Every structure is written in structure tokens, then in C-alpha cells.
Chains A and B, each alone.
Chain A
Amino acid sequence: MSATTEKKPRLTTSAMIASIASEGQRVKAAPFGKALVDLAAARPDIVGMTADLAKYTDLHLFAQAYPDRFFQMGMAEQVLVAAAGGMAKEGFVPFATTYAVFGTRRAFDFVHQVIAEENLNVKLCCALPGLTTGYGPSHQACEDLALMRSIPNMMVIDPCDALEIEQAVPAIAAHQGPVYMRLLRGQVPLVLDEYDYQFELGKAKLLRDGKDVLLISSGILTMRALEVAKSLDEIGVGAAVLHVPTLKPLDTQTIVREARREGRLVVVAENHSEIGGLGEAVATALLSEGVAPRFRRIALPDAFLDAGALPTLHDRYGISSAAITSSVKGWLD
């Protein structure tokens, strides 16, 4: 049997549930849970709430450290969100966790009416954003950013790695008002420490510069964009990476400044449906400012995605490093 017909090892869904980290990647365990525990020492107003998913959102660390400030609301996301609103009304700063599908899709009206309409100080931190589970559409939150961006008063954060989550937790706690933050849990990749990175609410950060391509990305797609930029380097293509962890409010100024530079292909990459996420936000911002560069997008399709192993699915839907590299090369030719 020749090498080309040799079968690849069959990947399974379950092998990939615990982590989005690829093999050999540097990771940190439970950055959200640890950061919240650290912060809570100095902030007695912080409470933790969850809907039967403390262990799966790393909130169990908070529950262990501060059992009298942890509230288990059961598998009832509407109550989780509304009770967090009630807690905020009494002066507490609740960090409420569940999976992104449940916190956004299922409890949408409660997020909208109870929390956002009164501008309450609830931090909704939701795991399994976008395509970070192989469990199929029941668990894949491909519309969470679109839903949360559409709500007035809501700040929307899509962090990239463990370092950024550690930095974002105190930052969103200091912000007065509701925040939706996508959560990476378990063994979380660590990449931004190589870039002298500091998270700032509402700020986009240029992680590396390059003359041919501008990759604009958020969340784990920034991790991919950095890998793509390195591989483009090897073939003599200079790729800049602009990381946009805050989708709302959007740092239009920085995005426009970078996109205005002549001669670069602009590619927006996101771990979200092509509808209502970073790509549409950036496109609107650019056209509103009269900037119309060559523009392409990497995003999940407007479709119910397959179940399966994450590496397979990331390849299939074009958000693996190899798939993005190949797309960008094609657009450059």
C-alpha cells in the first residue's frame, strides 16, 4: 500500500472535548477560574453563579475557594441569568457561567430584558464558543456573538488564550455594566505571552506587522492567524495580525487605521457564523469610514455544522491554520 493511500488515524469526538489545544501546544489550566479566585480576594462583591456547569466552566475553583459566594442555580439558564440580575440589583457583581448556547440562545430574552435593559452589572461568561466542540449544533454556539452584539448596553469579548482571559477577568469586573465574554476552559492554549500583550477593554492590538496581508481576528482565530502569519513568512509573504478581542464596542479607529494602509489584502477571521460577527462588524466600520480595501472573510458557514472531531471540523469549515493559509494564498495569487 502506498503512502498516499494510507489511512489517517480516525479521530473521535470525545478525545477532543476537554481542550481546544493542539498537540504539543503550550497551555495553562483553568485560567478563568484561577483569575476569578485571585480577583475575588480583593473584591467581596464578586459572586459566582452557574447552571449545573461549574466543573465545565472552571467555576468550581471559585466554588471551592468561596463556597459562601457561590450559587448553584441548577440546569435553569433563564433563572441563572435573571437571578444574576437580581444579585446585581443588590450590589453584587455576579460572574454567571454556562455554555454559550444556553447563556445566549436559550436565555436571550432574559439577557436582553433583565440584564441589559437596566444596564445591570452581570458578567456572563460562556464556554464552548463557536466551533469548539464536536457535539453538533446543540452545543456549537455559532450565533452567540451576533445575538449578544445586537443587545444595547452589552459589551462583547472574545478572548484568544489563557493570558488574555487572566487579564480580561479583572478588566470586565471593573467595567460598570453587562458583559458577555466567551470562555475557554480546561487546558487553554497560551500564545500571547510571546507578544508582550496586555488586554484593554475596547482596544484592538496589532500583534505583528506585515506588508502584504492584514489578518483581523478575534478569539482562538487570532491564535490561528499568528500561525498562518508565520507560515506565510516562510514563503515571503508579510502578514500583519490585528487582534480584536472586544467586538463591542469595536475599536473602529485602529481597524480603519490599519486597513487604510495601501496594498494589503484585508482578511477577517472569526470562530463564528459569517452572519453578525466580527467580519460584518469590520466591513460596516470600514465602509462607513470610506475605506474599501481588497476584503476577504474566514468564518463558519450559515449552516448547522457537523458533529465530529474538532481538528476534522476545523479543516472542513476552513478555520484550521492549514485551511486559512491555503485560503489566503489563493486570494493572493
Chain B
Amino acid sequence: MSDSSTLSERAYRIRRYALRMGEVQGQGYIGQALGWADVLAVAYGHAMHYRPEDPQWESRDRFLLSHGHYAIAFYAALIEAGIIAEEELDTYGSDDSRLPMSGMATYTPGMEMSGGSLGQGLPIAVGMALGLRQKNNPAFVYNSMSDGELDEGSTWEAAMSASHHGLANLICLVDINNQQADGPSGKVLGFEPLADKWAAFGWHVQRVDGNDLQAVTRAFDTARALHERKPRVILFDTLMGKGVPFLEQREKNHFIRVDPPEWQQAIDFLDQSQTEGVAS
């Protein structure tokens, strides 16, 4: 079995866990979870160093979920990584659960920051990257963020800071799905030309299809192997709802409410396409 087919199974399971958590609440940021699953599969299944039994292992690569509302996707990745147990999935968003609807470091093992107030992940990542370098710890800091966070000034303050300090141990992952709370990103606050902006801020930039596992894998490998004393950003163009056609096509898919029978339909679809994909 090739690495990419393993990763495709990982991505499939991440999507499936996310859908099952969505079903617990009847709603959620499912579109983002389906769209970001491939990047998470590569991060936790290929790129990152970590020990599932010891989420605080000093040499681990740090993964900051700046966009706390992607928690449903991230918990799915943590289950796939073996850091939290699959059984906990049923508690998602429930009272006294370790899996609140917005991601918080104080609740969940493997969660490195309390996200949700957008535009804070990258500045924290700058501090952690400086700290790791100070300790001669070769770990990477990955900051996972949404394109909506590009509206926040603090993101660009941090981008400037990271290149000023030559943070080669910082890799920023941006999900460009072009959907924000109030509508398409281009209408909320246009951020293109994005690659040019990051490059102008002194970053090594790649822009790839975030739902093409091979391209995603290559981009992670390139970002890690680079010798330049620069922070690295990977801009991932993703499709909201990826893998479940009726969710891909839903017009308002920033925060999805799904009718009860549709959850099973979505899971059935995923299962079916995965079976076909593996067989082919």
C-alpha cells in the first residue's frame, strides 16, 4: 500500500469521525472539517513528530489550531492520531466533555492553544518558535489558520515578526476555502493576491490544492526540508464539504445544519467512495 493510499484512508476516517461528531450536535463546522481533512491527515499521518501516549513530549512538533471553530476537524485528527479515544467522540460539545465545540488547550490533550478568537495563533506560534530555537529544540511549530484570519491585523504583525526573526522552524498552514461567516471571502474583505503578500512579508510561499493528497504531502516535505532562514507558509485551496457532494454544493456552508437522515447519507457516501477508491 502506498503512502498516499494510507493517507487517503486517514483522511477518510478523519471525515467520518467529524461527521459522527456533527451528528451528535446536529450541526457544526462540517464543511471546514471535510475540506481540511486532507491537510490534517498529512500533518498527523506523515509530517509531524509526536507520541500519541505523551501529547506533551518535549520534542513533539507543535500544532496550533488558531481557528478554534475547526475543533470538530481537529478532534477527528486527534482520534486518528491515537491521542484521544474514539469513544470520546460521542461526548462532543456535551456538558463536561473534553471536546468543547470551540477548541481549548485547557480541555483537550494534544490541543496546543485556546483558539477561537481569530488571529491569535500565528503570534503565539512566533513566541513558541522563538522559544524552541532558544532551547535548541529542532521541533517545528505548525500554525493552522483559516483564510478569514487574514482579515486580522495581528496575523500580519506576526507574519512580519516571524520573518524579522528568521523563524525557519515555523510553518503556517492557511485554509483558503473562500467562505466566511458573512459570505464569500472576496466580498467580506478581499485578501488576494495572497502568495504575493506572504512573499512580500519575507516568507517562503507555496500554494497547492489542499484536497490533492500528493500535492499536500509534497508541500509539507518542501516546507520542512527548506534550508532558507525564513518562515514557511503553505496556502491550501480547499473545497468546503469535500467528499460529500450534497454538502460541497450547499450554498451556505460556513456553519452547516444537517437534517438527521442526512448525516447517515453523508457517512454512507463517504464509505462507498472510499471502498471504490481503495478497490480501484
Does B associate with A? yes
Could you tell me which A residues sit within 8 Å of B by CB distance? 47, 68-69, 71, 73-74, 76, 78-79, 81-92, 94, 109-110, 113-114, 117-118
Q: What is the interface residue range for chain B against chain A?
A: 20 to 34
The majority secondary structure among interface residues of chain A is helix
Q: Kindly specify which of B1-9, B36-44, B129-137, B203-211 makes contact with the partner chain.
A: B129-137
User: A109-B117, A110-B120, A113-B114 are known contacts. Are A90 and B128 too (CB-CB below 8 A)?
Assistant: yes
Closest 8 CB pairs of A and B: A86-B127, A90-B131, A83-B127, A82-B123, A86-B128, A76-B157, A78-B154, A79-B123
From B119, B128, B154, contact of A89 by CB (8 A): B128
From B114, B119, B131, B160, contact of A86 by CB (8 A): B131
Bound together, the chains give a CA A73 to CA B165 distance in angstroms of: 9
Tell whether B89 is near chain A: CB-to-CB under 8 Å: no
- Which of B104, B113, B130, B160 has the most chain A CB within a 10 Å cutoff? B130
Chain A: minimal CB distance from B39 (Å): 22
* A residues in contact with B132, CB < 8 Å: 90
B124 lies within 8 A of A114 (CB): yes
Chain A: minimal CB distance from B92 (Å): 21
User: A71-B130, A117-B114 are known contacts. Are A79 and B105 too (CB-CB below 8 A)?
Assistant: no
Would you mind naming 19 contact pairs between A and B with Cβ atoms under 8 Å apart? A74-B160, A76-B160, A78-B119, A82-B154, A83-B127, A83-B161, A85-B124, A86-B125, A87-B131, A89-B124, A89-B127, A89-B131, A90-B135, A91-B131, A110-B120, A110-B123, A118-B105, A118-B106, A118-B113
* B residues in contact with A82, CB < 8 Å: 120, 123-124, 126-127, 154, 158
* A residues in contact with B154, CB < 8 Å: 76, 78-79, 82, 110
Tell whether B112 is near chain A: CB-to-CB under 8 Å: yes
Counting residue pairs across A and B whose Cβ atoms lie within 8 Å, the total is 98
Bound together, the chains give a CA A284 to CA B119 distance in angstroms of: 37
Tell whether B197 is near chain A: CB-to-CB under 8 Å: no
* B residues in contact with A68, CB < 8 Å: 134
- What string of 1s and 0s marks CB contacts (under 8 Å) between B155-198 and chain A? 00110110011000000000000000000000000000000000
From B104, B116, B131, B161, contact of A76 by CB (8 A): B161
A113 lies within 8 A of B120 (CB): yes
* A residues in contact with B130, CB < 8 Å: 71, 83, 86-87
User: A85-B127, A86-B128, A89-B128 are known contacts. Are A117 and B104 too (CB-CB below 8 A)?
Assistant: yes
* B residues in contact with A110, CB < 8 Å: 120, 123, 154
From A90, A91, A114, contact of B120 by CB (8 A): A114
* B residues in contact with A90, CB < 8 Å: 127-128, 131-132, 134-135, 137
A92 lies within 8 A of B160 (CB): no
Bound together, the chains give a CA A301 to CA B112 distance in angstroms of: 42
* B residues in contact with A81, CB < 8 Å: 123
From A79, A88, A113, contact of B158 by CB (8 A): A79
Bound together, the chains give a CA A74 to CA B112 distance in angstroms of: 25
> Which chain B residue lies CB-closest to A71?
B130
Bound together, the chains give a CA A70 to CA B92 distance in angstroms of: 42
> Which chain B residue lies CB-closest to A94?
B127
Chain A: minimal CB distance from B127 (Å): 2
- 7 more A-B residue pairs beyond the given contacts A83-B158, A118-B105, with a C-beta to C-beta distance below 8 A: A76-B161, A82-B158, A83-B123, A86-B129, A90-B131, A109-B120, A113-B117
* A residues in contact with B157, CB < 8 Å: 74, 76, 78-79
> Which chain B residue lies CB-closest to A73?
B161
- Which of B104, B105, B158 has the most chain A CB within a 10 Å cutoff? B158
Chain A: minimal CB distance from B26 (Å): 28
Bound together, the chains give a CA A90 to CA B112 distance in angstroms of: 11
User: A79-B123, A86-B125, A89-B131 are known contacts. Are A74 and B117 too (CB-CB below 8 A)?
Assistant: no
- Which of B154, B160, B164 has the most chain A CB within a 10 Å cutoff? B154
> Which chain B residue lies CB-closest to A80?
B123
* B residues in contact with A92, CB < 8 Å: 131, 134
Chain B: minimal CB distance from A95 (Å): 13
- What string of 1s and 0s marks CB contacts (under 8 Å) between B25-69 and chain A? 000000000000000000000000000000000000000000000
Bound together, the chains give a CA A73 to CA B129 distance in angstroms of: 13
From A47, A76, A78, contact of B134 by CB (8 A): A47
B134 lies within 8 A of A86 (CB): no
Bound together, the chains give a CA A91 to CA B158 distance in angstroms of: 21
* A residues in contact with B131, CB < 8 Å: 86-87, 89-92
From B106, B112, B127, B135, contact of A117 by CB (8 A): B106
Chain B: minimal CB distance from A196 (Å): 40
> Which chain B residue lies CB-closest to A107?
B154
Bound together, the chains give a CA A42 to CA B117 distance in angstroms of: 37
> Which chain A residue lies CB-closest to B104?
A117
Bound together, the chains give a CA A83 to CA B131 distance in angstroms of: 9
